[in-house]
Amino acid sequence: MQNIIAAISTPPGKGGVAIIRVSGEGAHELTSRIFRPASGRSLLDYPTRHAVYGYILHRGERIDDGIVTLFERGASYTGEPVAEISCHGGMLISRTVLEAVLAAGATLAGAGEFTRRAFINGRLTLTEAEAIGLLLEAKSEEQIRLTAAPARDRLKKEIEEIRASLTALLGSIYARIDYPDEDLGDFSDEETVSELTRVRADVSRLISTYRTGRAIAEGISAVICGKPNVGKSTLYNLISGEDAAIVTDIPGTTRDVLERSLPLGRVMLRLSDTAGIREGAGDDPVEKIGIEKSREKISSAELILALFDLSRPLDSDDRDIIEEIRGAGGAKICILTKADRDSVLDLTELPDIFDATLKISAKEEECEALSTLSDAINRLFTDEKISTSTDAVVASARQHSALLRAKELIDTAILAYSAGLPQDAASSDIELALGAVAEIDGRAVAESVTDDIFSRFCVGK
C-alpha cells in the first residue's frame, strides 16, 4: 500500500483560496483528525463529493476555517481516496495547514506525484499525463488547444485504435499458426497485408503531425542576427511585446544574447537576440564574447532571422553575416528593415539562400509586421491543414520515436508477407510493433522514462 501524500495544489502567493490535496489509502481518516465540521458531526459521516464547512486544527488549536471535500477510490484525480482542503489563500496559513496534514501522518508529495499515481492507477495514459504537463506550462492559446482534454482524447483514441488493430491481427495470425488445419483466424494472408497497410497509413498520419505539434508545444530555436543598428533589438521587442532589449544608435549596445520563449502565431519561438556582428569590435573583450556567442547561436538555430538595412548598401559586415549563415542548417528568413526609408540596398546582391524574404518598418503597424512574420514562420514549421482543434496531433519526441519504430516494424512485416516468409516471421515484427505502440500510452515503458516525465511537473500536480 502506498503512503498518504499531501501538497499545496494552488500557486504560492496571496489569494482568496488555497487547496491542499491529500491522497492515498486512509486519506479520509487522516483529514478527519485535523478537520472538525461546524455541524459537530464527524467528517466521515458525510457522503463523498460533498463540500463540508468546518474548522482546521493544528496541535489541537483551531488555525483556520475552510471546506473539505472527500473523493472515493476510483472517482478522484489519482484514483485513490482523496481529500481536498480549501483554506484561506495566504502563503503562511496554507503552509500551516499543510504542516497540520503532515503532522497527522502524511508525506510531502514530490513533483508530479499526484499525476504519477493517476497514471499508475489507470486514470490517465502516459500520453495524457505528458499533455497535462505541457498544459501547465502553456504560454499560448494554440498550446492550450493542443494539450486540453479534447485533444488528449483524440490522440488517445487513435493510439488505442492502432493498438486494437495490431492486437486483432496478432490473434488471427497466432490462431492460424497454432491450428493450421482449422478454419481459424479472421484474416487471410491477403487481408492481413491489407490491414497492415491500413494501420501503417494511420501510424504515418500521426507521424506527419509531429513537426507541427513540436513547433507549437516545444517550440523552435530562433536567432535574430545582423550587423549593429540594423533593427535586431527593435524586432525582438516587437515580438516580445515589450522593451526587453535596449534600442540605441550606438553600435555594440547588445553585448550578450537575450533569450526568451515567445508565442508567434501558432509557433512557440525560443528566441535569441544576438550581439551585432561587426569587424570593428576593437579591443572590447565583452563585445567580442557577445559576437562569438552570436556565431554559436546562428550555427545551432532551427530558424535564422537575418536582418539587413534597406537604407544602406551591403557592406563587409553584411557579407560576413551572409557567409556565417550560409553554412548553417536552420531555415533562413531574410528581413529587410527600415522599409519606410528610401531603398539603397541592391537586392540582387543578396544570395539565394533564404526560404522567405519580407520587408518591415518600425513605423509600420505592429500587428501587420507581426502577422507578416508569423505567416512566414508558420509556413516553414507547421502544416496549415493540421488543426489542433479537430485533429489528433503528436507533440512529444518520445511518442514520435515510438511511432517511427512501429511503422518500420510494420513495413518489415509487410515485406515478409510479400516475400512469402512463414507467418511466424511476420508475426514477430507485428508483436514488436505492438510493443512500440504500447510504449506511447505507457502500457510498456521503462520506469526511467516515467521518472523523467513526472519530474518535470510541479509539486501539487
- Strand-pairing partners, residue 392, are none
Residue 419 — pLDDT band, cuts 50, 70, 90?
A: confident
**Residue 109 pLDDT class (50, 70, 90 cuts):** very high
Question: Does 67 have pLDDT greater than 90?
Answer: yes
How many Å apart are CA 15 and CA 12, to the nearest integer? 9
256 pLDDT higher than 60: no
List the one residue out of 62, 59, 137 whose CA is nearest residue 103. Answer: 59
Output the pLDDT for position 280. Answer: 52
| More confident: 195 or 369 | 195
Q: Is the pLDDT of residue 53 over 50?
A: yes
Does 188 share its domain with 103? no
Give a yes or no: residue 100 inside a domain.
yes
Q: Give the tens place of pLDDT for each residue, 261-282.
A: 889 989 999 998 876 665 555 5
Shared-domain flag, residues 46 and 170: no
Comparison of pLDDT for 422 and 394, the residue scoring more: 394
Q: What is the C-alpha to C-alpha distance for residues 263 and 292, in angstroms, rounded to an integer? A: 27
Residues 165 and 243 in one domain: no
92 part of a folded domain: yes
For the chain, give the percent of residues with pLDDT over 70: 84
Taking 90 as the threshold, does the pLDDT of residue 123 lie above it? Answer: no
Q: Is residue 355 in a domain?
A: yes
In the chain, % of residues over pLDDT 90? 48
Task: Say which CATH number the domain at 154 has.
Answer: 1.20.120.430
Q: Kindly report the CATH number assigned to the domain that includes residue 78.
A: 3.30.1360.120
pLDDT at 453 over 70: no
The size of the chain, in residues, is 461
Going along 175-292, which residue ranges are E strands? 220-225, 258-264, 267-273
Residue 118 lies in a domain: no
| Co-location of 270 and 356 in the same domain | yes
Beta carbons of 103 and 114 less than 8 angstroms apart? no
Lowest mean pLDDT, pick from 80-84, 292-296, 326-330: 292-296
226 and 204 within one domain: no
Give the model confidence (pLDDT) of 301-359 as tens digits.
999 999 999 989 998 889 989 998 998 889 999 999 888 888 888 888 888 999 999 98
Beta bridge partners, 108, equal 6
Q: What is the pLDDT of residue 122?
A: 85
Domain end, chosen from 353, 381, 409, is at 381
Considering the domain architecture, whether residues 225 and 198 belong to the same structural domain is answered as no
State whether 164 and 222 are in the same domain.
no
Are 222 and 364 in the same domain?
yes
Classify residue 114: in a domain, yes or no. Answer: no
- Which of residues 381, 413, 433 is at a domain's end? 381
pLDDT digits (tens, 9 = 90+) for 200-233: 999 999 999 999 999 999 999 999 998 888 888 8
pLDDT over 70 (residue 250): no
The answer on 23 and 93 residing in a single domain is yes
Specify the pLDDT at position 285.
Answer: 55
Give the pLDDT confidence score for residue 252 in this predicted structure. 46
The span from the CA of 142 to the CA of 11, in Å, is 23
* Summary mean pLDDT of the chain: 85
Identify the CA nearest to 191 among candidates 424, 461, 423.
Answer: 423
Q: Is the pLDDT of residue 449 over 70?
A: no
Answer whether residue 181 shows pLDDT above 90: no
205 part of a folded domain: yes
How remote is the C-alpha of 177 from its chain's centroid?
A: 43
Enter the pTM of the model.
0.74
Among 212-221, 284-293, 357-366, whose mean pLDDT is lowest?
284-293
What pLDDT, on the 0 to 100 scale, is given for residue 444?
55
Tell me if 201 is assigned to some domain. Answer: yes
**How confident is the model at residue 266, as a pLDDT?**
92
Q: What is the rounded CA–CA span in Å between residue 407 and residue 426?
A: 14
Range of the domain at 321: 216-381
Is 116 inside a domain boundary? no
Q: Is 245 found in the same domain as 372? A: yes
Dist. CA 215–CA 268, nearest whole Å: 6
CATH number at residue 289: 3.40.50.300
Domain shared by 88 and 171, yes or no: no
Residue 253 pLDDT > 70? no
Backbone angles phi, psi at 256, to 5 degrees: -125, 175
Reply yes or no on whether the pLDDT at 234 is more than 50.
yes
Q: Is the pLDDT assigned to residue 403 strictly greater than 90?
A: yes
Mean pLDDT of 286-297: 71
Query: Starting from the edge strand earliest in sequence, which strands make up the sheet with 258-264, in order?
Result: 258-264, 267-273, 220-225, 303-309, 331-337, 356-359
Look at residue 335 in the predicted model and tell me its pLDDT.
92
Report which of 227, 294, 290, 232 is spatially closest to residue 256, judged by C-alpha positions.
Answer: 290
Cα distance between residue 448 and residue 379, in whole Å: 36
Both 250 and 270 in a single domain?
Answer: yes
State the SS3 of 246-264: CCCCCCCCCCCCEEEEEEE
Q: How many domains would you assign to the chain?
A: 3
